[in-house]
Amino acid sequence: MTQKQKLDTGQEAGTMMETPAQETAENPVQEPDFQDIPVKEEVEADGPAPVSEQETMEAEIMYYGRLNSSDTVAPAQDADALVEVESQYELQSEPIAEETANDEDTEAMYRSQDSSGMKANPDSQAMEELSSIYRRKRNTPATEAQKQTLYREGRSMIRLVGETSIRSDAERYKEEYLKLSHALNQAPLTGIITGVVDSSYMPIAKVKYGEGLFDINIPATYLFDFDERQLGTAEGHSRIMNEMNHRIDSIISFMVFQVDENSGKVYASRINAMDYYGKRNFIAERSDGRPLLYAGLKSNARVMSVHRNDVTVEVGGVECTIPRSELSWTPLENLNQEYHVNDEFLVKILKVARYKTTKGMGQNRFENMISLDVSRKQAMVDPVKKYFNSFEKGGHYVGVVKYITQGVVHVLLADKIGIVCPVPHFAASRDGDLPVKGQKCLIRVARKEIQKREDGSERYVIGGHIINYSPAGR
């Protein structure tokens, strides 16, 4: 399941073929070309039908607010002009709403946003200017006068022989600029989301790369896949902002689109990186006729964000969501206490599907997006099967209460397997009838059997009853 499936309203945006990158003598652009790589036709879903330029303009007006008859959409501008335009739309953080802590989702509490102050209609001119950034890659070197200011410090240094590890601030800045500009024609880079700000047109993720000397910006629509029309409502805007806040401190891959040496401003895209890795890891065939990753394999996953009932992870460079039911064989209560951003674990890939999407009001098209169904639970051996012979019917074993649902207590038995016990008729303590999370208890194993499924597989079952509670906290 993709993040887009979670956040979308169910309506498809129109599409338009991506505008080819322009090339100049000073700044040649050579994007990776995968056209000669065979693609499995059976996994490719039909994309939405192309739309005309007039329909795209109408869609823009519908998504991002009404335009007067005299209004026009600004044409794509070069990097120098964009620097001036960006100063008109300073990024302002919205205040975080004060909320009462929720025991089931404490992490989401301090990251959630107050939708009352959100912008319901993103600035259409700013959206067009932003879209123009992602139509071509551009490197804007500093002028000679600007370089005199940027690198003045380095010209006044004398480095003694052998002291090559000591670098001035100017040298570090130059080195980072060269890496970012070189990355315009290379594979994705890796960075960390350090913050999220809300601009006049959409939330923007701030990313640290290297020493963090450049201001790297990834707008929401290029951070993860969702229907851009959500940004046109306060509720949708708040939902997207909240999801981005959950991703703060996560490690991400991204592709660089524009670098300005003098201002230090960089625009990048995670969607392009996922499209790149989707083709490389899930579509492009190797010598054995299969891609690197496919259904049935196990692979490593890294946590991107944690929610009440699911966890978003990155697998093979693309994102997917694992529901609570596929996270663990043992009882889980608050996922924010069980999982954290950047946690890593193995998952089993259950399903791979290729799909297409568009960004920038339908003007940037992505052909190699991947939808994944994965399971951490199925990547592990069922602990009941593994420890089945460690428990005897009628035996007494220590247990720890994990959480309680209506009529049943979920218990971790002997720190090995999860079982479900009916709520006993006696009180758990002097203060109440029900036990508290973490309270120890004594379990009698009342059921132990191996069941045959219709497909011939076996299901190992162990059940029990609570016969005694330890005092809470002991």
The structural domains of the chain, with segments of one domain joined by +, span 29-155+169-279, 282-379, 383-469
- Long-range pairs of 49-54 with CB within 8 A, sequence gap ≥ 24: 49/14, 49/15, 50/14, 50/15, 50/16, 50/17, 51/14, 51/15, 51/16, 51/362, 53/16
CA angle in degrees (0–180, nearest 5) for 396-397-403: 125
Residue 104, SS3 per DSSP: coil
pLDDT for 219 equals 95
* Whether residue 41 has pLDDT greater than 70: no
pLDDT band at 430 (very low <50, low <70, confident <90, very high): confident
Indicate the pLDDT class of residue 333, thresholds 50, 70 and 90. confident
Confidence of residue 60 (pLDDT cuts 50, 70, 90): very low
Q: What's the fold here for domain 282-379?
A: OB fold (Dihydrolipoamide Acetyltransferase, E2P) (2.40.50)
Distance CA 315, CA 374 (A): 9
Is 282-379's fold the same as 383-469's? yes
**Least confident among 13-27, 236-250, 383-397:** 13-27
Q: Which of 95-104, 331-340, 358-367 has the highest mean pLDDT?
A: 331-340
Q: For residue 33, name the pLDDT band (cuts at 50, 70, 90).
A: very low
Predicted confidence (pLDDT) per residue in 447-473, tens digit: 999 999 999 989 999 999 999 998 755
Q: Average pLDDT in the 339-346 region?
A: 97
Rounded Cα distance, 181 and 266, in Å: 10
Given its phi and psi angles, is residue 362 left (phi above 0), alpha (psi -120 to 50 degrees) or beta? Answer: left
How high is the pLDDT of residue 202? 87
What does 178-228 look like in DSSP terms, one character per residue? HHHHHGGGSSPEEEEEEEEEE-SSSEEEEEE-TTS-SEEEEEGGGTS---G
Tokens representing 188? Answer: 């994705």
Question: Do the bridges between strand 440-452 and strand 417-422 make them parallel or antiparallel, or are there none, so unpaired?
Answer: unpaired
* Confidence band for 151, pLDDT divided at 50, 70 and 90: confident
Per-residue pLDDT of 241-288, as tens digits, reads 999 999 999 999 999 999 999 999 999 999 999 999 999 999 999 999
Pick the CATH number of 383-469 from 3.30.420.40, 3.30.70.360, 2.40.50.110, 3.40.190.10: 2.40.50.110
Helices (H) and strands (E) in the chain, counts: 12, 16
Over residues 203-207, mean pLDDT: 96
pTM over 0.75, yes/no? no
Q: Which has the higher per-residue pLDDT, 60 or 329?
A: 329
